[in-house]
Each structure stands twice: as structure tokens, then as C-alpha cells.
A = this chain, B = another copy of it.
Amino acid sequence: MQRHIDGELARLKEELVRLAGLAETAIGQSIQALVSRDAELARQVIASDDQINQLEIDVDDLCLRTMALYQPEARDLRMLAMALKIVNDLERMGDQAVNIAERTLELLKEPLLKPLIDIPRMAQLAQRMVKDSLDAFVQQDVALARRVCQQDDEVDRYDDQMFRELLTHMMQDPRAITRAVNLILVSRHIERIADHATNVAEDVIYMVEGKTIKHHASS
């Protein structure tokens, strides 16, 4: 027999997947706006953040109500507690997409510095991590969650490389300074998105295995 709480937990997962979908879309669109120099799309990303923020509040309420009504046992409780943390990370991914969109609007005030190659690649990797971390949550797939954690290093390497390249670029051509600084910040925002996905993946491992790997304690 299905327990009543299972219905609530299923709904919670659905809401988190919906929130993750919105965050993924915002990230994808912010990078799309940057690459195709589309101010309208950048503004759309900024406007869509309200929806993400509202959904975060709804998920928090759902978690708290489920905890209060069903007084869940250890495993379900752990899932609810982790959902409270995961929803934070998803909402902050949305914030990072807004930050990228804002940098894009600044970047559009000047001609393109150089063709953007590494930023879209790095963003693709980060988006993949977001998707995989949520899939890992829904399917309680620890192996997938571990892969997400490993990919974070690759995004960090991209970010370091972008930083060095753009510094060099600025030194060679001071007219490029404003654009290069804005691109450094975009790269940092993508790196933060990957960090949030890693947090989600770590929470999934904790939820499933009941032990923490946060801060690579076990690695």
C-alpha cells in the first residue's frame, strides 16, 4: 500500500524538476543571449527570475508542510531536508543566469571582443552538470552524482584558463579592458553554477548513503 507521504514526496520531486528546468533554461538562454548578442533574450532571462524565486518559496512551503503533517521517518526526513538545501542551489543558479544576462547587456555596448568559443563550451558542461545532478536526485543515482562532482574540476580549469587568457588580452590591448573584465565575470558566474550543481550532487550522495562527502571529506 502506498503511504500518503509518498504522494507528497513525488510532488516535491516534480516541483524540484520543474525548478531545475527553469534554471537550466535561464542558464541556456543567458549564454545564447551572450553568443548571439541578443539583448531582448538577456532581458527575458532577467524577467523570468521572478518565476524561479516564487517556485523556491513554494517548494520550501511544501517541504515544511510535509515535515509537519507526516512526521516522516529518517530516510524521508533526510530527503526533505536535502530538498530544502537543493532548492536554494537551484534558485542561486537562476541568480547566476541573471548575472550573466546583466554582463551580456554590458558587453553589447561594444563590438565583440573575439569569437566566443570556450565560454559556450564551459557553459555546456555546467548545464550538463545541472541536469545530471537533478537526474541523480530524482533517480537517487549515486554513481551519476559522483560523476557530477568530478566534472567540477574541469569547469574550474576552464575558468582559470579564461582568466589568464583575458588578462593577457587586456595587457596587449587596453581598449579591450571593459569587455575582458565582463567576460571574466561571466566565466566566474558559470563556475558558480557548476559549484551549485556539485552541491546538489553531494546532497544526493548524502541523502542516499546517509553520509556526507561534502568538502571532499571522503575523497
Interface residues in chain A, defined as those with a beta carbon under 8 Å from any beta carbon in chain B: 50, 53-54, 56-57, 60, 63-64, 67-68, 71, 73-74, 77-78, 81, 84-85, 88, 167, 170-171, 174, 177-178, 181, 184-185, 188, 212, 214-215, 217
Contact = CB atoms under 8 A, between A and B. Distances in A.
A212 B174 contact: no
Copies in the complex: 2
Contact of A85 (B88, B212, B215, B217): B88
A68 B77 contact: yes
Majority secondary structure of chain A interface residues (helix, strand, loop or mixed): helix
Given A68-B77, A85-B84, A88-B88, A212 B170 contact: no
A171 B179 CA distance: 12
Given A74-B68, A85-B88, A88-B88, A215 B50 contact: yes
A67 B77 CA distance: 8
Contact of A170 (B63, B170, B215): B170
A53 B214 CA distance: 8
Given A68-B74, A188-B188, 6 more contacts: A50-B215, A57-B214, A84-B85, A170-B181, A171-B174, A171-B178
Contact of A77 (B54, B64, B85, B174): B64
A215 B78 CA distance: 27
